[in-house]
Structure 1
Amino acid sequence: MGKSSKKPSQLEILIELNDELENYFNNTIIPQLFVDADMMLRKYTPAAMKHFKLSASDLGKHISEVSHNIRFPTIIENITEVVETGKDLEKEIQTTDKVWYQMNILPYIIRKENRTNGVIITFVDINDRIQILNGYERLNRNYENIIHSISHDIKGPLSNMEGLISILKETPADVKDNRLIIDMLSESVVNLRKTVEDLADIDYDKEFAKAPERVNFENIIEDAKLALRDKIAESNARIFTKVRESEINFSRKNIRSIVYNLLSNAIKYKKPDCEPVVTISTEKSGEDILLKVSDNGLGIAEDQQHRIFSRYARVHDNVEGTGVGLFIVKGMVEAMGGRIEVKSKEGEGTTFLVYFK
């Protein structure tokens, strides 16, 4: 007779599960902490030990005693919130060594008892992404500075030219006097031309604007959401994504600027007393990749839609803006052989369709 197989006991099953958990914690490269409902640190991964300078003596300590290496003063409150609500929590934090992480606090639920017995805290390194965002924000500030500089710096030469032309019209036709005024007017034209050329010749972060490369839409969308997190939080905007085509060969700087501008506009042009709802999707459209950004905002009147991609075009004067965002987006898309279209109904929202070759 064959040897009968023995069914493992409950204790053996628990030991095996514990061994698997230990093996996972010891081999994962992701910094993770396990904190129980009493705020005691029960376990951490080697990566967490390295990044947060933990030691074996920290096990069993209250999280407040070991969180000094994490520059996040509300970590106790956030752990308590997750334990009490059973809902995930996500935030960006910075450690004492100036490294940025996306911190996810997930409830550790005992299914049999249907209760939360602590949390697992995961840290994802987003330092490179933050640095890229800082670069984009610097570029946006530089673009704004150029616009403000043009607006401000050409006023002086233009005023001089207008004044000289008025004098020329009012003075008697004396050849000598007119010659002097014309010379002064010519000098003002030269100064104006030089001012415009100087402003147009600004070359910020040339190395930052990279050539086309394989770009992941999910990452770009998350970057834009991260850069706009204050506006998203302030407006209580809800952002939904449906990415069916994940990658595109495009300038990372430009694709990020396109998504950033379209998402920013979707939030900015919201209806009064109505929380923005924005859907960002990608899909295949023939031989093109189609990016769609739809919102439930103010919408654009049909007779105004033809001019929204023009430089300095404004269709909602009650909303702050320079009117150059969509002009820049159109230029970026068309420079790479693509096209951008708009579908909108006043009072019901807008959808921008960007076709990439």
Structure 2
Amino acid sequence: MGDPSNKAGKLEKLIELNDELENYFNNTIIPQLFVDANLILRKFTPAAMKHFKLSDSDVGRHIEEVSNNIRFPTIVENISEVIGSSKDLEKEIQTTDKVWYQMNILPYIIKKENRTNGVIITFIDINDRIQILKGYEKLNRNYENIIHSISHDIKGPLSNIEGLIRILSETSKSEEDNRQIFHMLSESVVNLRRTVEELADIENDTEFAREPERVNFENVIEDAKLALRDKIAETRATISTRIREAEIRFSRKNVRSILYNLLSNAIKYRKPTVEPAITITTEKSGEYILLRVCDNGVGIAEDKQQAIFNRYTRLHDNVEGTGVGLFIVKGMVEDMGGTIEVESKVGEGTTFTIYFR
């Protein structure tokens, strides 16, 4: 028979460890859940109770029964995946209170038995980052509005002014005619001034995107995919990644805009009968960090490959767009001391390579 005092010591140690875990869960301000290997909710922090509207009666229930509170349809599958693989999983979700979180599912491993006995799920508030993402979406839409204003709202008043001046210079008019023409000139000038002021406001919107910071490529790729999710679903595009260099010091908003534009183009310029297949890779090369976006689209003729970086260049009239995306990308990269290159074959696809310094 075993030593009773030894058994008592082990039991006391287990109780102590359980008390420590209880104390941790009761005092942390981070929303966390502990789900066991049978997908039963065993513990949660007070922050999780508040944000996910959980109650003590939810302890002991299958996670599927409370998953609606978390508002993420694949959470059960994701937990099972982590238990099966013993590998961390990270995703962005929105809860029922409309708050965005980065969800990290970590395997709870029993070291002595070398097996996963459940998961600990942590939720980090990224609402500010999502709001920035929405702001960037607005900024991208504003780029198109700028071009529309240049081609219509500015050209229109200028043409009116030119025409009215020509009328004044060609023939003498009555005083009443002159008053009417001057009134029309005044309206055109007011219209032009208003448009210029609006463009100046849009220009100021870009100031928030210039400060460098530590940027995680995978997070930014997910942001861009989120922004393009409707296009991705509509075209059945597949996006694969090989991230060998995880981070870069750059303006996060600029990196996100670069990826957004390159992914958007890869989807836009697809072959009509082929689903888009896009690969994103990062790696270190000397003093540079390289980002590559490769697609299987229509490709770019060799004599057009430099022109695509010019403002307003459009190679295909049947594809929506304004022709400023790659011009903006090139400017963002070069402003920070980097370069962008393109390799392409018509009918085979295109690879853009960004050299971040």
Return the TM-score normalized by structure 2.
0.72
Query: Are the aligned partners of 2:31 and 2:51 in contact in 1 as well (CA < 8 Å)?
Result: no
CA distance in 2, matches of 1:100, 1:90: 13
Task: Give, in whole Å, the separation in 2 of the partners of 1:21 and 1:204.
Answer: 55
Tell me the equivalent position of 2:231.
231
Alignment of 1:177-192 (within 5 A): none
CA contact under 8 A between 1:150 and 1:199: conserved in structure 2?
no
What SS does the corresponding residue of 2:231 show, helix, strand or coil? helix
Residue 114 of structure 1 is matched in structure 2 by: none
Deviations 1:61-120 (A, max 9, x none): 4667655644x3x75x87489879x99998754324331135578999xxxxxxxx9998
Instruction: Provide the residue aligned with 2:281 in structure 1.
Output: 281
SS in 2 for 1:240: strand
What is the distance in 2 between the residues matched to 1:132 and 1:294? 27
Q: Corresponding residue for 1:197?
A: 196
- Aligned pairs for 1:212-291 (under 5 A) are 212-291=212-291
Aligned position for 2:326 = 326
Residue pairs, 1:308-319, within 5 angstroms: 308-319=308-319
| Aligned amino acid, residue 193 of structure 2 | K
Distance 1:259 1:165, change over 3 A: same
Preserved contact between residue 149 and residue 199 of structure 1 (Cα < 8 Å): no
| 1:330 maps to amino acid | K
Q: Which moved more, 1:159-168 or 1:337-346?
A: 159-168
Q: Please give the alpha-carbon distance, in whole angstroms, between the structure 2 residues aligned to 1:299 and 1:19.
A: 64
Amino acid in structure 2 at the alignment position of 1:271: K
Confirm or deny that 1:34 pairs with 2:35. Answer: yes
Alignment correspondent of 2:6? none
SS at match of 1:211: coil
- Alignment RMSD: 4.7
Aligned to 2:113: none
Distance of 1:119 and 1:174 partners within structure 2: 83
**Where in structure 1 are there 5+ consecutive unaligned residues?**
7-12, 109-116
- When residues 80 and 18 of structure 1 are mapped into structure 2, their CA distance, relative to the original with a 3 A threshold, is farther
Partner of 2:356: 356
- Between the aligned partners of 2:134 and 2:233, the Cα distance in structure 1 is 19
- Deviation, 1:323, is 0.8
State how far apart, in whole Å, the 2-side matches of 1:68 and 1:282 are: 36
Tell me whether 228-237 or 314-323 shows the greater mean CA deviation: 228-237
Decide whether aligned partners of structure 1 residues 91 and 234 sit closer, same or farther in structure 2, where only a CA change above 3 A counts.
farther
Q: Alpha-carbon deviations, 1:315-336, whole Å to 9, x = none?
A: 1222111111001111111222
Report matched runs for 1:162-173 at 5 Å: 163-164=163-164
17-26 or 192-201, which moves further after superposition?
17-26
Alpha-carbon offset, residue 355 of structure 1: 1.7
Q: Which amino acid aligns with 1:140?
A: N
Shift of 1:199: 4.2
**Counterpart amino acid of residue 32 in structure 1:** L
**Contact kept? 1:299, 1:348, Cα under 8 Å:** yes
- Are 1:93 and 1:103, in contact at CA under 8 Å, matched by a contact in 2? yes
Give 3-state SS (helix, strand or coil) of 1:298's partner. coil
| Cα displacement (A) at 1:270 | 1.7
CA contact (8 A) 2:299 2:345 kept: yes
CA distance in structure 1 between the partners assigned to 2:75 and 2:287 by the alignment: 47
Q: What per-residue deviation string (whole Å, max 9, x for no partner) do you get for residues 7-38 of structure 1?
A: xxxxxx9x99999899768747562252787x
CA distance in 2, matches of 1:271, 1:259: 20
* 8 Å contact kept, 1:333–1:356: yes
Q: How many residues align?
A: 335
Indicate the percent of aligned positions where both proteins have the same amino acid. Answer: 65
Higher helix share: 2
